[in-house]
């Protein structure tokens, strides 16, 4: 059977450098760092005392007090960006076949703050088993998709993917395939995460995964820099409205990009470390190119996973050189995590949005905080250091990789119209 084409017709974003999609893009283009000392809790005793928090967000600007208390922040973030994306898409929900409209979301952890707070309360109250009746619905990762579908009446496929930091990209790929195969006409997809908590910072500190550059948080996320010392934890969400191409054209929708293809693979190597030779990353990019029926030479920009870890940055660049050959030196490559930090399960969603906006503005967002070249890397690659670059872009590829060896890549192409 012929696969249906899938396009992006709406965007929403809530990030450490902008609370709407347009503001997020301005932050990216201007090379703004979202890292600062933690305000969510007293982090004085932690080895890492900073993060990329969402700023100036008040749940009561979006929900009434009673409603907000029933939701973990990761669900609040999901609903806010879904609403922005729906409004941006100009969908007339009264004319949509709601049985063919779905929600596929991603979150690597879900309601971490809720889980932490409830267990702490139980421990402090001795043996009295008192738990909030909304404890379980607030905590479970799938509840974000449930809330979104309830709000808009979408009765199509509805679930949340969990594949660590690849979660949101897995959700986007699943939505792509459901629409391609005719099971949906449109979907709200993306991801959300709210792990800037004592448990989140403490857990990643215990793994020695986080930067400990407390004297200069704004320069701590420095992908590809010789002195990188770990990632910076971020939080937030992003949403995409995906539609079948003819469905979008028939209603006169603005098309941001075509979602041309997606790939998945596994490292089958280690629970947290990437394959040192980038074998899984190589496979996933080749799978995405094959799915999109594209050659490597067609890609203009890669939004890399680029977390600012010593091992990950090296393995990903090795994979890019293996897949793209000589064309690797013609590409622009950048890590927007240098600005947003690492949003874990939501990373793929905000980086998909960044890739789409790069295509629309013919501008490659930078990899900020580059100070010293790393001899382990090929410094002839154009890693778009420190300053955004204007460039005619037709095709962008976005990589996200997760603990457990989960690898995902998606490819966006400028629309024909």
Examine residue 410 and state whether it is found in any structural domain, yes or no: no
CA distance 29 to 31: 6
C-beta pairs of 201-208 under 8 Å, 24+ apart in sequence: 201/38, 201/43, 201/46, 201/48, 201/51, 201/233, 202/46, 204/48, 204/233, 205/46, 205/47, 205/48, 207/272
- Domain residues for the domain of 73 are 7-250
Q: What percent of the chain has pLDDT over 90?
A: 96
**Which H or E element spans position 189?**
strand 186-193
pLDDT, tens only, 313-333: 999 999 999 999 999 999 999
Catalytic residue among 247, 275, 305, 406: 305
- The CA dihedral of 167, 173, 174, 178, to the nearest 10 degrees, is 160
In contact, 302 and 288? CB cutoff 8 Å: no
Instruction: Specify the number of domains making up the chain.
Output: 2
- Measured CA distances, 340 to 16, 233, 235, 394 (Å): 6, 9, 8, 24
- Same domain, yes or no, for 283 and 198? no
In a domain, 258, yes or no: no
The pLDDT value recorded for residue 416 is: 77
Query: How large is the average pLDDT for residues 297-309?
Result: 97
Distance (Å) of CA 327 to CA 97, 287, 370, 403: 44, 18, 23, 29
Chain-centre distance for alpha carbon 234: 10
Residues 6 or more apart whose CB falls under 8 angstroms from that of 216 comprise: none
> Is 189 a known active-site residue?
no
**pLDDT, average across residues 86-107:** 97
pLDDT score, position 327 = 98
Predicted local confidence at residue 1, as pLDDT: 73
* 283 Cβ contact list (under 8 Å, min separation 6): 263, 265, 407
Residue 257, in any domain of the structure: no
> pLDDT confidence of 137, banded at 50, 70, 90?
very high
| Residues contacting residue 364 through CB under 8 Å, at least 6 positions apart | 301, 332, 334, 358, 384, 388, 389, 390, 391, 393
286 and 233 fall within a common domain: no
Note the pLDDT of residue 302.
98
Q: Of the candidates 250, 278, 303, which is a domain's last residue?
A: 250
The reply to whether 296 falls in a domain is: yes
Mean pLDDT value of segment 106-120: 96
Is there a domain that residue 86 lies in?
Answer: yes
What mean pLDDT is reported for the chain?
Answer: 97
Helical H segments across 1-108, by residue range: 21-29, 65-68, 73-89
Looking at the structure, tell me whether residues 357 and 400 fall in a common domain: yes
- CA-wise closest residue to 14 among 67, 64, 88, 82: 82
pLDDT at 127 over 80: no
Q: Which residue has the higher pLDDT, 222 or 417?
A: 222
- 146-179 pLDDT tens trace: 999 999 999 999 999 999 999 999 999 999 999 9
Shared domain for 51 and 82, answered yes or no, is yes
pLDDT digits (tens, 9 = 90+) for 343-387: 999 999 999 999 999 999 999 999 999 999 999 999 999 999 999
Choosing from 52, 165, 370, 406, the catalytic residue is 165
What pLDDT was estimated at residue 33? 98
Q: Among the three residues 250, 273, 288, which one is the final residue of a domain in this structure?
A: 250
CATH number, domain of 333, equals 3.40.47.10
**Domain check: are 193 and 231 in the same one?**
yes
Residues 66 and 207 in one domain: yes
Task: Let me know whether 288 and 370 are in one domain.
Answer: yes
pLDDT for res 417: 47
φ and ψ of 232, to 5 deg = -110, 125
Q: Is residue 412 part of a domain?
A: no
- Segment 48-70 shows an average pLDDT of 96
Is the domain of 156 the same as that of 193?
A: yes
Q: Do both 227 and 295 map to the same domain?
A: no
Tell which of 216, 250, 284 closes a domain: 250
Q: How far is CA 199 from CA 74, 206, 233, in A?
A: 15, 10, 12
Catalytic residue among 247, 275, 342, 370: 342
Q: What angle do CA 301, 3, 242 make, to 5 degrees?
A: 55
Could you tell me if 80 and 221 lie in one domain?
yes
307 backbone dihedrals φ, ψ, rounded to 5°: -85, -15
Q: Let me know whether 222 and 91 are in one domain.
A: yes
Q: What is the mean pLDDT of residues 47-73?
A: 97
Answer yes or no: do 210 and 331 share one domain: no
**What is the DSSP secondary structure assignment for residue 1, as one 8-state letter?**
-
Cβ contact 370:386 at 8 Å: yes
Whether residue 151 contacts residue 145, with contact meaning beta carbons closer than 8 Å, is answered with no
In a domain, 25, yes or no: yes
Residue 165 known to be catalytic: yes
pLDDT above 70: residue 294: yes
Tell me if 416 is assigned to some domain: no
To the query of whether residue 370 is one of the catalytic residues in this protein, the response is: no
């Amino acid at each position: 059977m012929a696969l249906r084409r899938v396009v992006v017709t709406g965007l929403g974003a809530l990030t450490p450098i902008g609370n709407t999609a347009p503001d997020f893009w301005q932050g990216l283009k201007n090379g703004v760092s979202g890292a600062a000392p933690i305000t969510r809790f007293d982090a004085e005793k932690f080895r890492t005392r900073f993060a990329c928090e969402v700023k100036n967000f008040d749940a009561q600007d979006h929900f009434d007090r009673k409603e907000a208390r029933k939701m973990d922040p990761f669900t609040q973030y999901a609903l806010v960006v879904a609403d922005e994306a729906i409004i941006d898409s100009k969908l007339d929900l009264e004319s949509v076949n709601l049985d063919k409209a779905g929600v596929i979301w991603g979150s690597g952890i879900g309601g971490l703050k809720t889980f932490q707070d409830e267990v702490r309360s139980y421990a402090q109250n001795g043996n009295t088993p008192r738990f909030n009746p909304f404890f379980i619905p607030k905590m479970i990762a799938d509840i974000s998709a449930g809330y979104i579908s309830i709000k808009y009446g979408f009765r199509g496929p509805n679930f949340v993917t969990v594949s660590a930091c690849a979660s949101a990209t897995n959700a986007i790929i699943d939505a792509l395939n459901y629409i391609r195969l005719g099971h949906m006409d449109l979907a709200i997809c993306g991801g959300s995460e709210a792990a800037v908590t004592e448990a989140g910072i403490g857990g990643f500190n215990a793994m020695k995964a986080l930067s400990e550059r407390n004297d200069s948080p704004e320069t701590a996320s420095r992908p590809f820099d010789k002195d990188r010392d770990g990632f910076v934890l971020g939080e937030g969400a992003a949403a995409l409205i995906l539609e079948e191409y003819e469905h979008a054209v028939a209603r006169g929708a603005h098309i941001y990009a075509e979602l041309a293809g997606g790939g998945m693979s596994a490292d089958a190597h280690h629970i947290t470390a990437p394959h040192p030779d980038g074998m899984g990353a190589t496979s996933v990019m080749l799978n995405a190119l094959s799915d999109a029926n594209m050659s490597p030479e067609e890609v203009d920009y890669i939004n890399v996973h680029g977390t600012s870890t010593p091992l990950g940055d090296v393995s990903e660049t090795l994979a890019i050189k293996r897949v793209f050959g000589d064309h690797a030196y013609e590409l622009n490559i950048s890590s927007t995590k240098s600005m947003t930090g690492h949003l874990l399960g939501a990373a793929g969603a905000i980086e998909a949005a960044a890739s789409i906006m790069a295509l629309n503005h013919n501008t490659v967002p930078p990899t900020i905080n580059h100070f010293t070249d790393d001899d382990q890397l090929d410094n002839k690659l154009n890693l778009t250091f420190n300053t955004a670059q204007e460039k005619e872009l037709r095709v962008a590829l976005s990589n996200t990789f997760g603990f457990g060896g989960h690898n995902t890549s998606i490819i966006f192409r400028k629309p024909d119209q």
